Structure 1
Amino acid sequence: MAGGASDPPRRGKYAALLDAELWDYIDNVNSWYPPEIAASPIAEQRAVYNRMCVAFHQGRPEGVTTSDGLVATAAHAIPVRRYRMADKAAAAVVVYYHGGGFVLGDLDSHDDICAEICAGTGFEVVSADYRLAPENLHPASFDDAFTVFEWVAATSALPILLSGESAGGNLAAAVAQATRHHPRHAIGQVLIYPGLGGDESGRSYIEHADAPLLSLADIDFYRRIRSAPRQSADDPTFSPLRDQDFSSLPPTVIVTAECDPLSSDGEAYRDKVLAAGGRAVWREEPRLVHSFLRSRASVPRAAEAFARIIGDIARLGTSD
């Protein structure tokens, strides 16, 4: 467990920077999912992570209905969960990809977040349960993310938005880039503290290399465990920031946390989209850490940031 109240020196420069409520959240996460679990078998890591997600689950807002289904491929089926408001016709559909480092997570781990996005926007949300590493190396997760987009495009007449957090933000960006010329291309994307394969000599990678809940060592672990042999660092479906063309992307919002080594990825992605003539906004939420969405029930800063994210999705889904 990362430095608790009885061990303030381990909090270092973050001791005073982060609010007490956020430290309570960080300590709670580390009590459920301690850093040393990275040495445990993947099955055990997933079991512990899933128990933590159950403990943090906030329930679904009133009026949200769900239905589970499968998207068939030639080799396997991809589980999906659709969220709708029972009493309201949706103006758009959000395809959402969960976080978890491409190793953890499923339809249940981010269920309440998807339900709250549905309730907050009135939009349908389709959550995709893509294949995980290390059993399924890249491009398995991307292929599933792409397939779910194509399935939504083929089965729904609603405008499509792409969104996801952390690893899911990577997938949303990669799908947006791969489908930019699709007849049903996304009308917007909202990327939440995404890992986009940015330059690790960048500002946040250096300033927050040892940030709570996600360190540079963690990022390296997740990248290596996902990589196929001879994985190209320049593959844009693996590292969207390595693409050579950022034109024709949908209007984009990238939201990052100040105390997260990945924050510079959001800044760099915004700059590349703007340089290519697109529309993009990057917002770095102050004094927050990676995974802050899960703290929204107890940390006012996180609740406010999540409300802004819901507002971003709502605006992109209703703009011309």
Structure 2
Amino acid sequence: MTNPDYQTLIDAPTWAFIRETESWYPPDAVGLTIAQQRAVYDRMCAAFHAPHPAGVAVRDLAFGSVPCRLYESGQALVTVMYFHGGGFVVGGLDSHDDVCAEICAATGFRVISADYRLAPEHKHPAAYEDCLAATRAAAAAYPGPMLLVGDSAGGALAASVCHRLRHDLPLRGQVLIYPGLGGDRDRGSYLTHAQAPMLSRDDVLYYARMRHDGPEPQNDASAAVLQDRDFSALPPTVVIAAQCDPLADDGRDYRDAIRAAGGRAEWIVEPGLVHGYLRARHTVPRAAESFARICAHLRILAE
């Protein structure tokens, strides 16, 4: 197996983004204490934070006893539930605040970001239960079409919520951005991109250890949707992967499972991009194009 030539695959603007990210959040950050990890992650997110677009109203409130942030731009008929990334360990309402505001502005949809409990203080299924409760409460408060969206760990949570609520709510679709869905970590992209910039295979294993007490659960779709035995009746699904990311193949395997069950699913691999590239959407042309694609898919699914 040949190692990828990242100097060729990754373009200069993306390398600049990687270097700036690492100046705030070092590649060996998982060696820090949990408090230190969260502090450097929050500082990094603040350094990349973009001002809210004009016309987006923001307020904090709770849905299902879960702290959330609501973004509105006019009278929206569609609700987007957004679950942030951060390996189930870092992140919160502020880390993805500008991303949610820009999704709201680009689509006109109501966006609700959930501040789910984090590991290792709160092991699985705490984060999943919070996302489930917030989604149910938001659906009750705003009856109508709903889209589930998340990046990285948040993509995993969005998919697990989707599997649980597929028969209960009017889910129009799900958009999962470089999610980890529980694929085989001993093959494919997990090996090819084991040493990828921004997220390594060792990082993935570390976050899994933080999330669970002891061995990871088996056949538990609330922990990893690829372990589910039933992929039927899911809403249309779009998985957007970064090429240079150990998690990339999870999206392909999920797409294939949904299609085999008769559903609609698409797997898009963004060439030369790395895990966490949403923060590069204002500085890296490839990331900007991908973010525009994400928002376009949300609009299409809502129709």
For the criterion TM > 0.5, the same-fold answer is yes
**1:230, distance to aligned residue in structure 2 (A):** 4.5
**Stretch moving more, 152-161 or 197-206:** 197-206
Residue 187 of structure 1 aligns to a residue whose secondary structure is: strand
CA contact (8 A) 2:147 2:172 kept: yes
Question: Whole-Å Cα distance in 2 between the matches of residues 68 and 180 of structure 1?
Answer: 27
CA contact (8 A) 1:91 1:317 kept: no
Partner of 2:63: 71
Q: Which of the residues 177, 183, 190 maps onto 1:205?
A: 190
Q: Which of the residues 15, 28, 51 maps onto 1:36?
A: 28
TM (normalized to structure 1)? 0.92
Question: Whole-Å Cα distance in 1 between the matches of residues 259 and 28 of structure 2?
Answer: 40
CA contact (8 A) 1:107 1:127 kept: yes
Opposite residue 55 of structure 1, the aligned amino acid is: A
Q: Deviations over 1:206-244 (max 9, x none)?
A: 211100000100000001110123441321111110100
Question: Whole-Å Cα distance in 1 between the matches of residues 77 and 142 of structure 2?
Answer: 11
**1:91, distance to aligned residue in structure 2 (A):** 2.7
Opposite residue 125 of structure 2, the aligned amino acid is: P
How many pairs align? 301
Q: Which of the residues 169, 192, 197 maps onto 2:177?
A: 192
Opposite residue 223 of structure 1, the aligned amino acid is: A
CA contact (8 A) 2:67 2:114 kept: yes
Question: Whole-Å Cα distance in 2 between the matches of residues 230 and 38 of structure 1?
Answer: 19
- Aligned ranges 1:242-281 → 2 under 5 Å: 242-281=227-266
Residue 126 of structure 1 aligns to a residue whose secondary structure is: strand
Partner of 1:308: 293
Partner of 1:174: 160
**1:317, distance to aligned residue in structure 2 (A):** 1.1
**1:202, distance to aligned residue in structure 2 (A):** 3.3
Opposite residue 215 of structure 1, the aligned amino acid is: S
**1:12, distance to aligned residue in structure 2 (A):** 7.4
CA contact (8 A) 2:144 2:170 kept: no
Q: Which runs of 5+ in 2 are unaligned?
A: none
Q: Which of the residues 267, 275, 283 maps onto 1:290?
A: 275
Partner of 1:97: 83
**1:36, distance to aligned residue in structure 2 (A):** 2.3
Question: Whole-Å Cα distance in 2 between the matches of residues 276 and 292 of structure 1?
Answer: 31
Question: Whole-Å Cα distance in 1 between the matches of residues 27 and 13 of structure 2?
Answer: 20
Residue 28 of structure 2 aligns to a residue whose secondary structure is: helix
Structure 1 vs Structure 2: percent identity of aligned residues? 52
CA contact (8 A) 1:80 1:128 kept: yes
**1:48, distance to aligned residue in structure 2 (A):** 0.9
CA contact (8 A) 1:197 1:241 kept: yes
Aligned-pair RMSD on alpha carbons?
1.3
Q: Which of the residues 14, 24, 41 maps onto 2:16?
A: 24
